[in-house]
Amino acid sequence: MRFEAFHRLEERFFYALVGVGGLIVALGLLAAWHMEEHGHIVSGMNNQVVWGTPHIFAIFMIVAASGVLNVASIGSVFGKVPYKARAPLSGMLSLALLAGGLSVLMLDLGRPDRLIVAMTYFNFKSIFAWNVFLYTGLFAIVGVYLWTLMERRMNVYSKYAGFVAFIWRLALTTGTGSIFGFLVARQAYNSAVLAPAFIVMSFAWGLAAFIIVQSALFSWNNLTLHPDILRRMKNLLGIFVAGALYFVAVHHLTNLYFAKQIDFEHFILVSGGIYPLLFWGGYVVLGSVLPLLLLYHPRLGAQCSSVITASVLVILGAFALLYVLIIGGQAFPLEIFPGMEVRSSYLDGQIDHYVPSVPEIFLGLGGLGVAFLITTIGVRVLHFVPQDDFSQLQGAGNITD
């Protein structure tokens, strides 16, 4: 009787989660319809800031979709036993986050029907055309990879499929970072450092998202994460967070080396109002330094709650960094003639002001709702909760070796 009562309670909880996710998706669709019906004038975007808050959500989910697959790669490609049990959940989370991110991008185009043109006519001089193949390719490759993991007779091919997925997701994240790195029309970007920086950031953001989802699933199913696995994952997260912080520092130091970028760096790091606050307070302190302290503290680092808190802070720091990079990079005017004063009748040389609107925020949250729904239903139907074989954990070796 107790088991049946618990099963009914669990089933109600599942439908409650699906209902919450469906409501968030519905609000996102309503926001997209509102902007489609009335035009982007109802958003905070304008002719200078053309990528708004929805793009922050979309870029985060696309980058995290690549990074969360790193958990599966560590198990299948590098043969680390503790991560093999997490490969199916890792692959499904990758597809869910990618679907959520692309949903936001499609609905934020202003003319979603124009997507057909983008999928049938390609300008291969544009990084955006390359990404059409990278995104669709990841769906196909991860789908095959999950098949090799779920079908016992296909298990012998899982390492090969995992290796292809590993290489493809590196290419995908390089393409996403190159969207900014190749944009000469925005002097805030246009840096080759952004491509490897996005790869390392994807590792940190994806692993943080995985830890949060895994912890929620274990709590939902009354399971306890093995301390050795917790130690491995939190050490790995710390390495990725420190690596991402290093690349961000290199990016800004590189900009400071060039005279034409000094004004922009002063704007982003010192005088830009909300942007320095989000960069130093949101990303550096709350999104990097504080998580590192929580992860490597002798006492706090061994607690699951501290690791989850650090993961949440890493994700919040990711949003802060993307806001500074995407919005701040567009708000600062392009300096076409360095050292010269430019005057015109249309905002040349002027810093733009952007305030996110409610429809933009709901549209971005709608993308998260899509990922949440796919994950919730997928875990329930496919039974992707990690099942550890504790007899194999001893002597498996540290992932950071």
Give the whole-angstrom CA distance, residue 102 versus residue 367: 8
Q: Which residue shows structure tokens 């708000």?
A: 331
The CB density around residue 117, as the number of other CB atoms within 10 Å, is: 9
| Average pLDDT, integer, range 365-386 | 91
Quick one: what percent of the chain has pLDDT higher than 70? Answer: 88
Confidence of residue 284 (pLDDT cuts 50, 70, 90): very high
In the predicted structure, residue 375 carries a pLDDT above the cut 70 = yes
| Average pLDDT, integer, range 174-196 | 77
Measured CA to CA in angstroms, residue 94 lies from 53, 233, 341, 371 at distances of: 22, 18, 48, 9
Residues 6+ apart with CB under 8 A from 195: 174, 177, 178, 181
pLDDT tens digits, 156-169: 888 899 899 999 99
Residues 6+ apart with CB under 8 A from 210: 68, 71, 86, 89, 90, 93
Residues 6+ apart with CB under 8 A from 203: 67, 70, 240, 243, 244
Phi/psi for 299 (5° steps) reads -100, -50
Give the whole-angstrom CA distance, residue 279 versus residue 269: 7
Q: Which residue shows structure tokens 């800004």?
A: 252
In the predicted structure, residue 277 carries a pLDDT above the cut 80 = yes
pLDDT of 298 reads 87
Residues 6+ apart with CB under 8 A from 335: 187, 260, 263, 264, 349
Domain ranges (residues) in the chain: 14-335+366-384
Q: For residue 231, give the nearest of 73, 393, 91 by alpha carbon.
A: 393
Inter-residue contact 248 to 278 (CB < 8 Å): no
3-state helix, strand, coil in the chain (%, to 5): 75, 0, 25
- SS3 state at 232: helix
Residue type (1 letter), 391: S
- SS3 state at 208: helix
Q: For residue 318, give the nearest of 281, 292, 282 by alpha carbon.
A: 282
Give the chain's length.
401
pLDDT tens digits, 204-236: 999 999 999 999 988 888 888 888 888 999 999
| Average pLDDT, integer, range 328-348 | 69
User: Looking at per-residue confidence, does 38 or 259 come out higher?
Assistant: 38
pLDDT tens digits, 33-43: 988 888 878 88
Give the whole-angstrom CA distance, residue 375 versus residue 226: 23
Structure token pair of residue 301: 């680092």
Inter-residue contact 145 to 161 (CB < 8 Å): yes
pLDDT tens digits, 131-159: 888 888 999 999 999 999 888 888 888 88
User: Looking at per-residue confidence, does 301 or 308 come out higher?
Assistant: 308
pTM beyond 0.85: the answer is: yes
Give the whole-angstrom CA distance, residue 64 versus residue 198: 10
Confidence of residue 341 (pLDDT cuts 50, 70, 90): low
pLDDT of 401 reads 47
Count of alpha carbons within 13 angstroms of residue 103, beta-carbon side? 25
Residues 6+ apart with CB under 8 A from 153: none
In the predicted structure, residue 110 carries a pLDDT above the cut 70 = no
What is the gyration radius of the CA atoms in the chain, in angstroms?
Answer: 22
Quick one: what percent of the chain has pLDDT higher than 90? Answer: 42
Q: Which residue shows structure tokens 């796919």?
A: 374
Inter-residue contact 244 to 197 (CB < 8 Å): yes
Give the whole-angstrom CA distance, residue 124 versus residue 178: 14
Options 2.40.30.20, 1.20.1630.10, 3.40.50.300, 3.90.1170.50; CATH for 14-335+366-384 is: 1.20.1630.10
Residues 6+ apart with CB under 8 A from 118: 128, 129, 132
| Average pLDDT, integer, range 43-59 | 87
Q: Which of 63-72, 82-91, 115-124, 281-290 has the lowest mean pLDDT?
A: 115-124
